[in-house]
Amino acid sequence: MKRIAEKSKLINLPPTEPAPSVRPDHPEGRQPSAPPESAAGTTAGTAATAHASRSFTGVGAMMAAFGQGGALGKELDEVKARLAEFEGSVPVRLLDPAQVRASAFVNRHDSEYESQAFAELKREIAQARVNVQPIKVRPARDPGSFEIVFGHRRHRACLDLGLDVLAIVEEVSDRDLWLQMDQENRGRRDLSPWEHGKSIQTALRNGLFPSVRRLAEHAGIDFSNAAKLLKLAELPDDVVSAFETPTDLQVHWAGLLSKALQVDPESVLERAKQISRRGTVPRPSRQVLSELLGEPAVRPAKESVPVRVLRDGALIATIQAKGEKRVLIEIHSAIDVDAVADKVAHWLGATAVKE
């Protein structure tokens, strides 16, 4: 340190303050000497001037710089502290829905956008003028475009309404995209068994997971249930088309239909084609299943002949069966509803509860 200090004395830097101004008309460009003062005043003034104009040594200049940087350093620390509050956060933006496309792993069937649930979601977004819950997207290959990670229904609603869509923008891998989409769907409006099965099938075909078991482990779903869902997705298109919509298919039907296809695939496929050609809508899904399996057709029970209840020759009530488990009773006179309910409950061995 002593050597450094001694050597630094030999380094002279420019003065930290500008030199005094020089009169142009003065000989040799020199500043005229100051007027005489008292001895004490002259000594003090000379010392002050020498201190102001003296060049700093190397060490002195560096110490002065550090001193001047104190305020700047404090401001820099404040900026760092503010930035730390946002560390790990992801940007949320309003995007033109036309610049956002569906994911390659989309798992919603088109029939979903004709459902009452979607109509209600669309109404809520129209009322708020924005999707309050953001969707998530990742940058697509085309500059300025994005691919949906999750939130296809909210995106479609905003697209239909002509509203910008509120979105979280984040880079994610294909596997993470599938996992996040699957998790988000189960947390909001769950997929139908067929949709979930097709989603699993797509993930496996694209090599996101080496097996159904590994997929189930990563997604946190039951392995046996995942295997059944996959079996449902693997049903022939003709069998699926026999139903009014694929979302009608139930997970426990996968085994029944797969077994029937193993025993007599030609008969099952022929029955499926006949059902599709009829084009009857609506087609009760349980009835379609029975027909595909070759079971006797389930026919609705016929309505019974109305039974009339008379008092002194006057009609006071009508009773009629409206199926196997439904009876219609029409009362044609003033009655005490609570009293009648108690009597019916007593007759059925039950209790009448007033809502």
- DSSP symbols for 315-331: EEEEEEE-SSS-EEEEE
Residue with tokens 């030609």: 266
* Average pLDDT for 231-248: 93
Beta strand 135-139 pairing with 165-169:
parallel
Return the axis-axis angle of helices 174-187 and 193-205, rounded to nearest 10°.
170
% of the chain beyond a pLDDT of 70 = 70
CA-to-CA dists, residue 28 to 22, 23, 31, 32, 36, angstroms? 10, 10, 9, 11, 22
Are the C-beta atoms of residues 296 and 273 closer than 8 Å to each other? Answer: no
Of the candidates 215, 235, 232, 231, the one whose C-alpha atom is nearest the C-alpha of residue 223 is: 215
The per-residue pLDDT for 82 is 64
Q: What are phi and psi of 167, to 5 degrees?
A: -140, 145
The per-residue pLDDT for 218 is 95
Domains defined for the chain, CATH in brackets = 89-179 (3.90.1530.10), 307-348 (no CATH)
The per-residue pLDDT for 123 is 95
Predicted confidence band of residue 284 (pLDDT cuts 50, 70, 90): confident
Predicted confidence band of residue 305 (pLDDT cuts 50, 70, 90): confident
Q: Does residue 342 or residue 2 have the better pLDDT?
A: 342
The per-residue pLDDT for 44 is 44
Residue with tokens 């984040």: 170
Decide if pLDDT at 104 tops 50: yes
Q: Does residue 22 or residue 180 have the better pLDDT?
A: 180
Instruction: Give Dmax (Cα) for the chain.
Output: 144
CA-to-CA dists, residue 136 to 95, 131, 198, 240, angstroms? 11, 12, 21, 31
Are the C-beta atoms of residues 101 and 145 closer than 8 Å to each other? Answer: yes
Are the C-beta atoms of residues 161 and 122 closer than 8 Å to each other? Answer: yes
Of the candidates 159, 156, 204, 157, the one whose C-alpha atom is nearest the C-alpha of residue 182 is: 204
Are the C-beta atoms of residues 285 and 244 closer than 8 Å to each other? Answer: yes
Distance CA 197, CA 225 (A): 10
Q: For the range 57-62, what are the long-range contacts, defined as Cβ-Cβ under 8 Å and sequence gap of 24 or more?
A: 57/8, 57/9, 57/11, 57/12, 57/13, 58/8, 58/11, 58/13, 59/4, 59/5, 59/8, 60/8, 61/13, 61/16
